[in-house]
C-alpha cells in the first residue's frame, strides 16, 4: 500500500508507537485519523502535525465501547470517507498470574486490545469492502508468539488478537483487502511506567533484544505496509527467535519459562 496520499486511521494514537506512526505517516504525505480516549493528547499531536504541513483529524473515543465506536466510525465515513489503511495499535494491561487478576481486569484485558480491534474493524468493513481496497495492520506483542510466566490474562488477550487477524485474513480472501500483524520487541514508551512491576516480569530471554524507540517501531511498520507484508517481527533478534520457535518450538518455550518470573513464595 502506498503511504503518500493515503488516509491512515490509527488507534492508540495519543502516545508511543501510535503517535510515532501518525507523525511519520503525516511526514510521508498521508492524511492521518487519530483515535484514542484522551482528546488533549490527540489535539496536541494534531497541532504538531499541522505545524509541519501535515494533515491530521482527531476523534476521541473509548474503543471498548461498541456503540461509541460505531458512532465515531459513522462520523469518520461521513466526514473523510473510508480509510485506506487501519493501524489497530491500542492496547493495555498488566502482567499478572491468574490468581492476581480480578474478574474485572480480566475482562478489561480482553476488551483492549482484542474487542477494540474487533469493534473498529466490524464498523469499517462494509465501506472498505465496497471499495475493495484497504490494509489492516494489527500491532501485537511477542506474547502472541510464545507464553512466559506471570502474564496470563495479557497473553490470552494477545493470542485472541492474533487469532482475530488470522481469521480476518481468511474472511477477506479475494476481496482486495489485506491483513497484517506487526510484533515489535520491547519499545521505550509509557507502557511500563503505567503498569508498574510489569517490566520486572519480562523473561530473561528478553534481555537478548535491543530496546526500540517508538520512532524505530513506526518506521518498520510503515515499511511493512508499503511492502504489503503479512507478518513483520522485529528487531532482527526477535525475528530470529521467532524463526527458531517456528521450527523448534520446544527450546524457545523452555527458555521463556526457565528465565521467566517465579510465583510469590506464599504459593
Query: Cα separation of 189 and 153, whole Å?
Result: 21
pLDDT at position 97, please?
Answer: 94
pLDDT at position 192, please?
Answer: 72
Residues of the chain with pLDDT under 50: none
| Phi then psi dihedrals of residue 88, to 5 deg | -90, 95
User: In CATH, what number is assigned to the domain containing residue 133?
Assistant: 3.40.50.720
In a domain, 238, yes or no: yes
* DSSP string over 158-181: HHHHHHHHHHHHHHTTTSSEEEEE
Domain extent at residue 177: 7-258
Query: Cα separation of 120 and 112, whole Å?
Result: 12
Number of domains in the chain: 1
For the entire predicted model, the pTM comes to 0.94
What does DSSP assign to residue 85?
E
Contact, 32 vs 54, CB < 8 A? Answer: yes
The maximal CA–CA distance of the chain, rounded, in angstroms, is: 58
pLDDT at position 143, please?
Answer: 94
Query: Cα separation of 36 and 11, whole Å?
Result: 6
3-state secondary structure of 8: strand
Contact, 201 vs 256, CB < 8 A? Answer: no
pLDDT at position 121, please?
Answer: 98
In a domain, 225, yes or no: yes
pLDDT at position 265, please?
Answer: 66
User: Annotated catalytic residue: which of 114, 135, 154, 242?
Assistant: 154
In a domain, 20, yes or no: yes
Cell, residue 192: 511500563
H-state helical runs in the chain: 16-27, 39-51, 66-79, 103-110, 116-131, 152-171, 191-194, 214-226, 236-247, 249-258
In a domain, 264, yes or no: no
In a domain, 26, yes or no: yes
Query: Cα separation of 130 and 109, whole Å?
Result: 32
Q: Is 154 a catalytic residue?
A: yes
3-state secondary structure of 241: helix
In a domain, 263, yes or no: no
pLDDT at position 190, please?
Answer: 72
Amino acid at each position: 500500500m502506498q503511504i503518500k496520499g493515503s488516509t491512515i486511521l490509527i488507534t492508540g494514537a495519543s502516545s508511543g508507537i501510535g503517535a510515532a506512526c501518525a507523525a511519520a505517516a503525516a511526514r510521508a504525505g498521508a492524511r492521518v485519523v487519530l483515535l484514542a480516549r484522551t482528546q488533549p493528547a490527540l489535539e496536541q499531536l494534531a497541532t504538531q502535525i499541522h505545524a509541519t504541513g501535515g494533515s491530521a483529524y482527531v476523534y476521541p473515543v473509548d474503543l471498548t465501547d461498541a456503540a461509541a465506536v460505531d458512532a465515531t466510525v459513522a462520523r469518520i465515513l461521513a466526514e473523510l470517507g473510508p480509510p485506506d489503511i487501519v493501524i489497530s495499535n491500542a492496547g493495555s494491561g498488566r502482567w499478572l498470574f491468574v490468581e492476581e487478576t480480578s474478574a474485572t481486569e480480566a475482562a478489561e484485558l480482553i476488551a483492549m486490545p482484542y474487542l477494540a480491534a474487533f469493534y473498529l474493524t466490524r464498523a469499517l468493513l462494509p465501506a472498505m469492502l465496497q471499495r475493495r481496497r484497504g490494509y489492516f495492520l494489527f500491532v501485537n506483542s511477542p506474547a502472541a508468539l510464545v507464553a512466559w510466566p506471570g502474564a496470563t490474562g495479557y497473553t490470552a488477550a494477545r493470542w485472541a488478537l492474533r487469532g482475530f487477524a488470522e481469521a480476518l485474513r481468511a474472511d477477506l480472501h479475494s476481496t482486495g483487502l489485506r491483513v497484517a500483524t506487526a510484533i515489535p520487541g520491547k519499545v521505550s514508551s509509557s507502557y511500563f511506567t503505567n503498569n508498574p512491576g510489569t517490566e520486572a516480569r519480562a523473561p530473561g530471554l528478553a534481555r537478548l533484544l535491543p530496546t526500540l524507540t517508538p520512532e524505530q517501531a513506526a518506521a518498520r511498520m510503515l515499511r511493512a505496509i508499503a511492502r504489503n507484508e503479512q507478518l513483520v517481527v522485529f528487531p532482527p533478534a526477535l525475528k530470529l527467535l521467532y524463526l527458531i520457535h517456528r521450527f523448534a518450538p520446544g527450546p524457545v518455550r523452555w527458555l521463556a519459562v526457565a528465565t521467566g518470573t517465579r510465583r510469590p513464595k506464599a504459593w
